[in-house]
Chains A and B, each alone.
Chain A
Amino acid sequence: MNEIQAVQLFKCLADTTRLQLLSALSDGPKYVELLSQLLERSPSTVSFHLKKLEETGLVEAKKEQYYTMYSLNRTLLEKPVSQLVLGDRQQLDAQAVKEQQYRENVLKNLFEYGKLKTIPVQRKKRRIVLEKLAEHFEAGVRYPEKQVNLILADFHDDFCTLRREMIAEGIMARDKGEYWLRETETKEEL
């Protein structure tokens, strides 16, 4: 767990309703309606909090017949606080933390439900978006242009611009109608 994840975890815990939900789940898995009755909160409010707890890994959701059952992630909850604060988490330097937060914000603002809302004009942001899209290509694989278009079209209608920008930014290389991640090329050269 890195510093950002640790902060997110503690932020998530700093809420009375969420602590009550964790307490209610301590004697076994429960579904939303039951938790809603126990805590005297509306089912939508309970779902809202459970989603936040699920995102930080404090609870786990499992579909069972008609219900989604929520249970505690005891592995995480039973870790000593000292371990979370001081222990096994990866130390990130301040600049790296800032950079990671910036990247997360850019991606959060530009992507909605996996679709790219707009191709950013600012180069730094565009680079972050292109690097994110590059994750959908396998290293060492040579893709025909049609396949590159198909992959990029899943994210934005203007896949031609994205494809060209991948080349211009040096993320992908192109030769005789084939495209590949440049990272691979560099590693191979080394």
Chain B
Amino acid sequence: MKQRLMRYLAGLDAAGKRSDGLIATLEAEARQDEANLEKIRRNVYGIFTALANADWAQAQKEPNPQEAFERLHTQRFERFPEPWRQRLAKAQSHGDVVTQTIEETKLKTVAQLWRLFEETEAEA
């Protein structure tokens, strides 16, 4: 199970590094707003890395750490982005394209990380 966590964290780390590279490229091309959107993605990778580590530590306190980590981290994917979903719905109803783009970026990144989490389970 620890191996699965390590693979998941490695995936997050790789995504973060790709993001860092893209941020540098976009800034060099004077595409600051797109670089800022990429920084949002980068922050989501960072947040989910911290959450995965916290969930792993919490899971060790439970009788079945493997099952506990699975449950705790799956809950994160459901609950953590909820305020982003709400802000997106609000932005859509008010035609606020800028906020919409920002919230969509966060939610797409979460969806990407969910796929990564599922893939590491399949490999386990």
CB within 8 Å of B: which residues of A? Answer: 14-17, 41, 44-45, 47-52, 113
Contacts and interface: CB of A to CB of B under 8 A. Distances in A.
5 contacts: A15-B31, A44-B100, A45-B37, A45-B101, A50-B97
B74 interface: no
Nearest to A20: B31
A44 B90 CA distance: 17
Interface residues of B, number: 15
A49 B33 contact: yes
Contacts of B29: 16
Most buried by B among A41, A48, A52: A48
B90 A48 contact: no
A17 B37 CA distance: 13
B87 to A, nearest CB: 10
A76 to B, nearest CB: 20
Given A44-B104, A45-B37, A113-B90, A51 B97 contact: yes
Contacts, number: 35
B97 A47 contact: yes
A52 B31 contact: no
Nearest to A113: B94
Contact of B96 (A45, A49, A113): A113
B101 A44 contact: yes
B5 to A, nearest CB: 32
B98 A51 contact: yes
Q: Which 3 A-B pairs have the closest CB atoms?
A: A51-B97, A48-B101, A113-B94
A14 B104 CA distance: 24
B107 to A, nearest CB: 12
Interface in B28-67: 29-34, 37
Nearest to A11: B32
Nearest to B29: A16
Given A44-B104, A45-B37, A113-B90, A15 B30 contact: yes
A87 to B, nearest CB: 26
A52 B30 contact: no
Contacts of A50: 97
Contacts of B104: 44
A92 B32 CA distance: 29
Nearest to A12: B33
Contacts of A44: 100-101, 104
